[in-house]
Structure formats: structure tokens, C-alpha cells
Amino acid sequence: MPELIPCSMASLAIASLYYTWRERIRPKSLPATLLRQRVAYMMWVAARQ
């Protein structure tokens, strides 16, 4: 049982890093992605007319 503790701690550390990245860094890139999607849709609608 004690040999599982380092593995559990490593998993916790990786999960913590991922959730920190997801909450802090990823939302900053979201508006740019949303803007690109809106512009692409606008161009698609204009091309269909």
C-alpha cells in the first residue's frame, strides 16, 4: 500500500497542473477562437449570397 502513495501524489500533481492551466491560460485564447469562428461564418454567409 505505501508504494501507491507516490503514484497517487504524481496523479494529483498532474491533475492540479491541468486544471490550473485550463482555468487560467485557456480562457485567454477563447475570445480569439470565437472571433475567428464568427468571421468565418460571416464570410460563409456572404459567399452564399
For residue 31, the model assigns a pLDDT of: 78
The whole-angstrom separation of Cα 35 and Cα 47 is 18
The whole-angstrom separation of Cα 5 and Cα 18 is 20
The whole-angstrom separation of Cα 38 and Cα 49 is 17
Residue ranges of the domains in the chain?
4-48
**pLDDT tens digits, the chain, 49 residues: what are they?**
567 777 788 899 999 999 988 888 766 666 778 888 999 999 999 998 8
